[in-house]
Amino acid sequence: MAAAGGYLARGLTIDTRRPETAFVTTAIGAHSVYVPEVRHPVEVGAAEEGHLVQWLTKRIGAQVRAPALSGLGWKLVGGRLLPDRGLPAAQFMYEDATGRRLTLYMRKETGLNNTAFQFAERDGFGAFYWVDRPLAYAIAGRLGREELTSIANAVYAQLEQR
């Protein structure tokens, strides 16, 4: 009985002992804190996207971009600077026409090797995350895995066009 319970629960937690999963746990945590905000979901709004990207690039120490997701029905709300293990991280927030939100979280990463997409879930939130040095990325939202997959692929394709 215990073995069956453990088998069924295997995908419900994230092993935070691994550095890359500690990263995605932080990204999902930041997502869950800021997504419900009505008046202050972001620090800098989408109207100042150029300034936001320039500021976050300077603070992160690597070129960051806010991918255009309007073709998938998502508009940029804005972004913010966040701490992650004492280092700066960036979060871009997007919203669709129904009010659902997703975030793209990134930080400079020198301790992990490049990775392919990996999926994690925590507290009803899903996230795809990967490392494409010099940055680590996570797309988080309360969305189905298929929808997150198509968004992650679109983000990855745009980020590869450096």
Average pLDDT of the segment spanning 11-37: 74
Q: Identify which has the larger pLDDT, 75 or 121.
A: 75
pLDDT grade, residue 162 (50/70/90)? low
How many angstroms separate the CA atoms of 37 and 42, rounded?
8
Instruction: Give the pLDDT of residue 20.
Output: 54
Listed in sequence order, the residues at least 6 apart from 133 whose beta carbon sits closer than 8 Å to its beta carbon are: 109, 110, 112, 113, 114
- Enter the pTM of the model: 0.85
Fold (CATH) for 22-159: Phosphorylase Kinase; domain 1 (3.30.200)
